[in-house]
Amino acid sequence: MPKLNLVAMGEVGLTGWTRVAARPVARAVARRTGRPEAEILAIIGAAFLVITLINFLREVDAVIAAGRTSPQPADDTPAGPRKREAGRPA
């Protein structure tokens, strides 16, 4: 079985504004901890991926829950000819 590149997998979570925001943070953390900046970026990217996955699963759960509820009657009546009241001329 081939070895997984965890750093590359974590960095997938960094695209667009997340990469721009994560780079200075990763640089500062790497300086203080002595860990490679790529590892710190991978950890931040993995965190963004987990947050995105959790939000996605919550939305899926909400859609499923909405589909399980019984249909509600419409608030408005369908447009059509109105019934005439008894005793009133047309």
In Å, how far are 33, 79, 90 from 36, measured between CA atoms?
A: 9, 68, 86
| Total-model pTM | 0.65
**Helix residue ranges, H only, the chain:** 6-11, 17-33, 37-68
Q: Are 10 and 41 in contact (CB under 8 A)?
A: yes
pLDDT in tens, 3-26: 888 888 888 888 888 889 999 999
The pLDDT of residue 69 is 78
Q: Rounded to whole angstroms, how far apart are CA atoms 18 and 10?
A: 12
